[in-house]
Chain A
Amino acid sequence: MERYAGLRRTILISFDIDGTLEEGDPPGILAIDFVREAQKDGFVVGSCSDRPISAQRAMWERHGIEVDFAVSKHMLAEVKSQFSADVYYHIGDREDLDKRVAEQAGFAFLWPHEALAKPWHKASFRR
């Protein structure tokens, strides 16, 4: 759960990996600590990537983060049906494979730099 502007809302964030997270290939601008801190703050977090699901899980395990979900790019709608949240975000770096997919699944879409500018983002998470 997260509080800001006097509200308490459940926020789910789906992270693309390549081009979005610093772990990505190519590396993106979001540090893994961004995810870690979001989870600590009570956000529902996970990854939605073209990487094999087993590779996504292995990546999170390496960082000691127990994500709530790890899915392929076309599975965001399933994530939405599995988790109840007030807001669903997908953060990614591609117009077609992130923005379009997110919007089709009923997620709000954020470019990585937009995620960094969100009020729930802490300055210390920046790379």
Chain B
Amino acid sequence: MKTSPAPASVYRAAEGLGLWEHRGKVAAVGVGHSPTFRRWDGTPANSVGGISLEALRRAIDDAGVDPADIDGLVMDPSTTTGAFWPKGKPLPWEAINAYNRTDDPLDGITGLSAEWILANMPQLNRIEFTTYGVGCMSNAICVAAQAIGNGRAHTCLVLKSWHNLEGRYYQGGANAGNAIPGSSAIRSLWGTPACFGTAVQFAEYCRKYGKSHDMMAPFIENSRKNGLKFPEGYWAQHRPEEITPEDYEAARWIAKPANLFDNDMPIMVSAAYLFTTAERARHLKQKPVYILNHATSRTRPRSLTPTLDEVEEDTARTARKIYEGAGITADDLSFENMYDGFALFHQFHIEGLGYRGLKFGEALDFYQTDISISGPNPVSPSGGNIGCGRSRFWMHTDCIQQLQHRAGARQVTGVKPEIAVSGGPMPVGGNYMVWSATPD
């Protein structure tokens, strides 16, 4: 039987659900990352399947778990950064045939099924539960946490991988055609770059609160600095370049007021985590990081892109869900790692959270204060997508590593790492996780 997406019932999308019933009873233990690459080089080992196997192996080793004890796999079958295999281009048979195949030859190249993973990791021979958390790691970790809490699995790998091919992204797939199938023509924005919706919201934000784009510079500078301290990240591995305020202000517009450095860069990368029960976690190699809650936003905007009012309404609602299920308040957060895969919406996330008492319209002023990892108010200590490349999972890895005191040069020093929140992607519509150094 083929693996299916998780049902809607596993997500905590509503307000008023009370404390999460599995609060503190599920833990993250192991972390494994593949190397990063700007684009696939055509070799089997660096295909999205190849790097996924590498990330999984590393997570298993990191946790110190016997593969035969692993009984669950939650992952995202979609791996595209916006790159698709061009129609008519010969298939990469050398890479395809280097692994055990499924009925889709591009499985492991431009997509990834649980069946492909299991066919190529014979050591995972006790897996009885597989499901998909579609979209990004934020989704998959919520699904995995709930699955362990519900007893569907006791030791579960969580996987998210990305492929990027040569050429420009967002130029293939449906975008390459002369017509848009189905109702996409009236559901999607036409002719705009991906950051356009966020740029519109940010423009309105600046107008409403009297702020300006250059006030984002300290956030960008801080994110890249943190990212360069993330050895698993693309920029740290390949191009250790800082972004100064002068660099930021000199960058070209992509969709004004969103410039080049407000956008992340697509890369090839894979990450895997090992989740288990709190009880089992105590006997594994790494310090357990307990999950206090997961929460989800399924809000649908009234039109093609959410208005600023809708964004603020929803981030506040998401925060209420996050805090209610975890049994915490904003004051309990040691740091935040909300998504930044357009930099210009990070402030929507943290204002909604009320991080460090922030109210709507205050985050850009907050960015002018000490937001570094050594200060009392760390912002995005992972560096996020801006600091490490497009993956949508640096924030989760960082929360785990910070609470395990394994973040190395990135370790927060201005606060004691006890409780953290991460999640995304978009401020309207996303999945969020509350992590804790202790189960209660």
Contacts and interface: CB of A to CB of B under 8 A. Distances in A.
Interface of A: 25-26, 50-55, 58, 71-75
Nearest to B243: A52
Contacts of B244: 52, 54
A25 B166 CA distance: 12
B127 to A, nearest CB: 38
24 contacts: A26-B38, A26-B39, A50-B251, A50-B252, A50-B260, A52-B241, A52-B242, A52-B244, A52-B247, A52-B248, A52-B261, A53-B247, A53-B250, A54-B244, A55-B239, A55-B241, A55-B242, A55-B247, A58-B241, A71-B250, A73-B252, A74-B252, A74-B253, A75-B250
Contact of A25 (B239, B243, B261): B239
Nearest to A71: B250
Interface in B259-315: 260-261
Nearest to A59: B241
Nearest to B39: A26
- Size bracket, chain B contacts: 10 to 19
Contact of A54 (B39, B238, B242): B242
Nearest to B241: A55
Given A26-B38, A26-B39, A53-B246, A72 B251 contact: yes
Contacts of A71: 250
B166 to A, nearest CB: 8
B238 A25 contact: yes
Contacts of B247: 52-55
Nearest to A72: B250
A51 B265 CA distance: 12
Contacts of B250: 53, 71-72, 75
Contacts of A74: 252-253
A80 B248 CA distance: 22
A73 B253 CA distance: 10
Interface string B216-255: 0000000000000000000000110111101110111100
A90 to B, nearest CB: 15
Contacts of A53: 246-247, 250
B345 to A, nearest CB: 22
Contacts of B239: 25, 55
Nearest to B239: A25
A111 B252 CA distance: 22
A79 to B, nearest CB: 13
Nearest to A74: B252
Contacts of A52: 241-244, 247-248, 251, 261
A71 B252 CA distance: 10
A48 B201 CA distance: 30
Nearest to B248: A52
A75 B251 CA distance: 9
Nearest to B252: A74
Interface string B319-348: 000000000000000000000000000000
B38 A25 contact: yes
Nearest to A73: B252
